[in-house]
Chain A
Amino acid sequence: MSQTSTAPVATGSSASGGPRGTRRTGRTGRLARWAPWACFAGAAVVVGVLWPLFDLNVALFVLYTVVLGTLAVYLLTRTVEGSRQATDRLVTCLVVSAFGLAMVPLVSLVWEVVSRGAARLDGEFFNSSLVGIVGEGGGAYHAIMGTLVITALTTLISVPIGLMTAIFLVEYARGRLKRAITFLVDVMTGIPSIVAGLFAYALFAIFFGPGIRLGIMGAIALSVLMIPVVVRSAEEVLKLVPNELREASYALGVPKWRTIVKVVVPTSIAGLGTGVTLAIARVVGETAPLLITLGITNATNLDPFDGRMATLPVYAYYQLTQPGVPPQFATDRAWTAALVLIILVMGLNVVARLISRFFAPKSGR
Chain B
Amino acid sequence: MAKRIDVSDLNIYYGDFLAVEGVNVSIEPRSITALIGPSGCGKSTFLRSINRMHEVVPGGRVEGKIVMDGQDLYGPDVDPVDVRRQIGMVFQRPNPFPTMSIYENVAAGIRLNSKKMKKSDLDDLVERSLRGANLWNEVKDRLDRPGAGLSGGQQQRLCIARAIAVEPDVLLMDEPASALDPISTLAIEDLMADLKERFTIVIVTHNMQQAARVSEQTGFFNLNGVGQPGRLIEFNPTEKIFSNPDQKATEDYISGRFG
| Residues of chain A whose beta carbon lies under 8 Å from any beta carbon of chain B | 174, 242, 244-255, 258-259, 262-263, 266-267, 269, 361-365
Contacts and interface: CB of A to CB of B under 8 A. Distances in A.
Contacts, number: 87
Contacts of B149: 362-365
A261 to B, nearest CB: 9
Nearest to A252: B109
A174 B112 CA distance: 26
Contacts of B237: none
Contacts of A254: 81, 109, 112-113
Contacts of A262: 112
A298 to B, nearest CB: 49
16 contacts: A174-B58, A242-B95, A244-B91, A244-B95, A245-B95, A248-B95, A248-B96, A249-B112, A251-B88, A251-B91, A252-B109, A253-B85, A255-B81, A263-B112, A361-B99, A365-B145
Contacts of A259: 112
A267 B88 contact: no
Contacts of A249: 97, 108, 112
A251 B58 contact: no
A252 B162 contact: yes
Given A259-B112, A364-B145, 19 more contacts: A244-B91, A245-B95, A247-B56, A248-B95, A248-B162, A251-B51, A252-B108, A253-B86, A254-B81, A255-B81, A258-B114, A262-B112, A267-B98, A361-B99, A362-B149, A363-B98, A363-B146, A363-B148, A364-B149
A248 B99 contact: no
Interface residues of B, number: 33
A252 B89 CA distance: 7
Interface string B109-149: 10011100000000000000000000000000000011011
* B91, B109, B112, B163 — most chain A CB neighbours (10 Å): B112
Contacts of A269: 99
A236 to B, nearest CB: 18
B84 interface: yes
A240 B82 CA distance: 28
A247 B112 contact: no
Contacts of A248: 91, 95-97, 159, 162
Contacts of A246: 56
A364 B95 contact: no
Nearest to B52: A250
